[in-house]
Amino acid sequence: MSLPDSAPKNGADQNSADQEIADELVSVVATWVDREVVPRASELEHADEFPQEMFDQMCEFGLFGATIPAEYGGLGLSAKTYARLIEELSRGWMSLSGILNTHKIACVMIGRYGTDEQRSKHLPRMVDGHYRAAFSLSEPDSGSDAGALRCRAARDGDEWIINGTKMWVTNGERASLVMLLARTPDDRVTCFIVEKEPGSEFEGIRTSKHIRKLGYKGLETVEMSYVDHRVPDANLLGGPEGLGNGLRYALSALELGRINIAARSVGVGRAAFDAAMKYSLERETFGRPIFEHQAIAFKLAEMATKLQAARLMTYDAAEKYDSGQRIDLEAGMAKLFASEAAFEISTEALRIHGGNGYTQEYDVERYFRDSPLMIIGEGTSEIQKMVIARKLRERHAIE
C-alpha cells in the first residue's frame, strides 16, 4: 500500500492541494486499518506482542514524520490531520497510537525549543520511526505532581551526569532518543536529549522488564534507571536558555499529546459504538433485534451523541493548535470530555453485548480494557479539571 504523491503547489491552490493529500493519506490509513489491523489486533494484543509488521507499515506511510516540517524531510501535516490519523489507528488498535505519541511530543519539543543545531541533527532522523523517541517525565513518586521530580542532573565540565528513576516510559526500550526531565543543582527542572542504543542497558541506563498492564498492550511501558549516565552539554534542550525551562517546554508539547489522547478516545469510542450498533441489529430477544427495545436504542443514541461531541471538541483543539494559539484550555477540555466519553461508550457497548461482551471472542472487551488509559494518560481527568479551571479564571478575570 503506497502513500499519496505530493504534487508541487503554488498560489491559491496550495491549501486545497494540501487538504487533498491529507484526505488521501487518512483514507489510505483507514483502508489499511480495516484490512490489516482489525483482523489481527486482538490476537497481538492478548499475546502482548509488539506489532513489528504494522510498525514497519506506519514507517512507510511516513506517520512518524507526519507533523515534522517538510524542510526536515517530514510531511508537515496539520494537527487536525494528525488527530484524524490517530482516530483511524485507534479504532483498529489503540496501542498503535501510543507508538506515535511520545515520538510526536519529542518532535514538538525539539522543533519548538531546540537550538538550530539540535533541530538539524535530530528532526531529519526522527522522520523515520526506526529512530524513535520516548518522553520521560513521570517518576515512581511523581506522577500528576510533575514539580516533585527527584531525578538529578549535575554538571561535570562539558557534560551532565544523570541519576534517578523514571516510570511509565512508553517506547523506552526501543527508543533511540529520550526527552528526559531532571532537576539541576539550582533546583530547576531542565530537559535533556538523551541518545541511546535501543536495548535493555546502555552506558548507565537500565530498562526494566515491561510493566504488565490491564490493556494498552503490544508496546512496552517500562521503568528506566539512570546511574551516572553522561549527557553532553550540547544535548541540553534549547542550549543555555533551556536551563530551568524543561517543565514549561514539556507542558507546552503535551498540548499535542492531549490532542493525541482525545483522538485515541474518539477512535476507541467509535469502534465500541460501531460494534454495539452492529450487535444490536443482529442480536434478537423476544422475537426482534435488541435495537428495537427502547432501553438499548436510548443507550446507542447517547453513545452516538457523546462520540460526535468528543470528535468536534478534538478537532476544535487541533485547529486552534494549528493556528499557533496556546490551547491549554481547549486541549484540556477535549482530553477530559473525550476520554470520559470513550470509557462510558465502551462500558455501554460491553453491556449491550451482555455475556458475550465479557468474552475474548468479541473486541468490546479490549475496548473496555483500553479506555481507562485515556482517563489517566497525559494528566488524569482531575488534573484536566484543574487546568481548565485555572485557564477559565485567567480568561474571565475581573478588571
* Catalytic center residues: 378
Buried b (16+ CB within 10 A) or exposed e, 55-84: bebbbebbbbbbbbeeebbbbbbbbbbbbb
Using an 8 Å Cβ cutoff, are 215 and 369 in contact? yes
| Amino acid, single-letter form, for residue 37 | V
Amino acid identity of residue 100, one-letter, is L
Q: Which alpha helices (DSSP H) does the chain contain, by range?
A: 13-32, 41-47, 52-61, 79-92, 94-113, 116-126, 246-282, 294-322, 328-353, 364-376, 381-395
Alpha carbons within 13 angstroms on the beta-carbon side of residue 378 total 30
To the nearest 10°, the Cα dihedral for 183, 186, 191, 195?
Answer: -80
Q: Which residues contact 104 (CB under 8 A, 6 or more apart)?
A: 66, 67, 82, 256, 257, 260
Give the integer Cα–Cα distance in Å for 359 and 168.
28
User: CA–CA distance from 92 to each of 95, 98, 280, 310, 376 (Å)?
Assistant: 9, 13, 20, 18, 21
CA 71 to chain CA centroid, nearest Å: 24
Cα 315 from chain centre: 15
Q: Kindly tell me the sign of the dihedral angle through the C-alpha atoms of 384, 385, 386, 388.
A: positive
Q: What is the dihedral of CA 196, 72, 253, 30, to 10 degrees?
A: -100
Size of the chain in residues: 399
**In whole angstroms, what is the distance from residue 21 CA to residue 27 CA?**
10
